[in-house]
Amino acid sequence: MINKVFPILAISVFSSMLGTGIIAPLLPLYADTLGATGIWIGIIFSGFSISRALIMPLIGRLSDQRGERKAFLCAGLLFYAVISLGYVWAGGVTELAVVRLVHGLAAGMIIPIAQAYVGDLAPQGEEGKWMGYFNSAFFAGFGVGPLLGGALTDSFSMATAFYSMGALNLFAFIVALVWLPKTRHSKSKNTSEHTPLRQMLRSNMIKGIFSFRLTTAFLRGAFSCFLPIFASLFLDLSPTKIGLVLCLNTLTTALLQIFSGRLADIFDRRKLVVIGSLVDVVILCSIPFLESFSQLVILCAISGTGKAISMPAASGLTVAEGRKYGMGSAIGVFTLGMSLGMAIGPIASGAIMDQIGINWVFFVAAGVALLGTGVFLFFTKQE
């Protein structure tokens, strides 16, 4: 079954994330043109993740109870496409922040549900493999997007990039609506629709995975939001070059996911999570010392390798817990950690930039991720 369903999910996820990735190098620059300070850039960037974090546990739980994920996924993709138009219409910093908040609600119905879909169908012992495939589609779309967004902006305008995001998510909605089959997932014997979330949250593995995802997402939020600012101010890079750097970072992750996903089914997933996280920490600490575009390219490629090592392993651990407590619920907690980190990271980093400078944004984010990795080790050693 998964061999038939996965290609459709992959096309939908790739198209949706291609649209989302288009605005990744543009949003901080767009907010800057509207007069946003560092803290406001962080708020705008984080609004998406804040609202996504609020809705994901609810959507994940509802999809477990209903046993049907297609309706949630299609609704999210359509809503996402419509709200994309709001970026063009936003005339100020406050309006842009509101658009990001609303957009996050739609996002909360897409990736977590698509991941849970794959988790339901992945054969026992192949969780890392199939989550690696899923992450490959996710990161490939998000990786190509920044390059496309930079090129569209340089050739046409930022408005063209925002319209393209909406069109790509509309295409993903059509693909899912027409070709994605309805499937009924089966509940594990340990799970019922009445099982309280607090029972799942008592799992040390869930606690460890959540801490890892929260703090590495904090790092990722700081990186995604303020690397374009750093590259523009200190390296004098154009939107196209900034998009190319972000594209390379994410495409490296995407291309290595297939291989690293298989590794996650062979080797100790816990160790792979730690190794990948440490690579990301070292790279982030190196950013303030960069002096050229070529150096930034090399570091971003290495950073992408770190993510490729850790993400399939962490996803595989989450799927294993999902078989105990409900796939949508476990994936919801995993992606909740991501959303909270992506929400807190840019806001905290914006305040840091305003107070002590942009270089400390990267140092502090690396320290937070290192702390989270230590917490992950503490909880998972007891499992």
The predicted structure's pLDDT at residue 323: 86
**pLDDT confidence tier of residue 183, bands split at 50, 70 and 90:** low
Range picked from 122-136, 196-210, 309-323 for highest mean pLDDT: 309-323
pTM over 0.85? The answer is no
Tens digits of residue pLDDT in 89-129: 888 899 999 998 998 898 888 888 888 888 888 888 888 89
The predicted structure's pLDDT at residue 365: 95
Q: Is the pLDDT of residue 189 over 70?
A: no
Tell me which of 78 and 63 has the higher pLDDT: 78
**pLDDT confidence tier of residue 194, bands split at 50, 70 and 90:** very low
Q: Is the pLDDT of residue 185 over 70?
A: no
Question: Which CATH architecture fits 2-180+198-380?
Answer: Up-down Bundle (1.20)
**pLDDT confidence tier of residue 192, bands split at 50, 70 and 90:** very low
**For range 347-373, the mean pLDDT:** 93
Helix-strand-coil split of the chain, %, nearest 5: 85, 0, 15
Given CA atoms 342, 348, 352, 355 in this order, what sign does their dihedral have?
positive
Residue ranges of the domains in the chain? 2-180+198-380
Q: How far apart are CA 383 and CA 368, in angstroms?
A: 24
The predicted structure's pLDDT at residue 370: 96
DSSP letter string, 57-111? HHHHHHHHHH---HHHHHHHHHHHHHHTTHHHH--SHHHHHHHHHHHHHHHTTTH
Tens digits of residue pLDDT in 32-77: 888 888 788 888 877 887 888 888 878 887 888 776 789 999 999 9
The predicted structure's pLDDT at residue 23: 78
Q: Is the pLDDT of residue 188 over 60?
A: no
The predicted structure's pLDDT at residue 196: 56
Residue 54: exposed, middle, or buried by beta-carbon count in 10 A (0-12, 13-18, 19+)? middle
Average pLDDT over the chain, rounded to whole? Answer: 86
**For range 155-184, the mean pLDDT:** 88
**For range 147-153, the mean pLDDT:** 83
Q: Is the pLDDT of residue 153 over 70?
A: yes
The predicted structure's pLDDT at residue 336: 86
Cβ–Cβ contacts within 10 Å for residue 98, how many? Answer: 15
Q: Is the pLDDT of residue 24 over 50?
A: yes
Tens digits of residue pLDDT in 249-273: 888 988 898 889 889 999 999 999 9
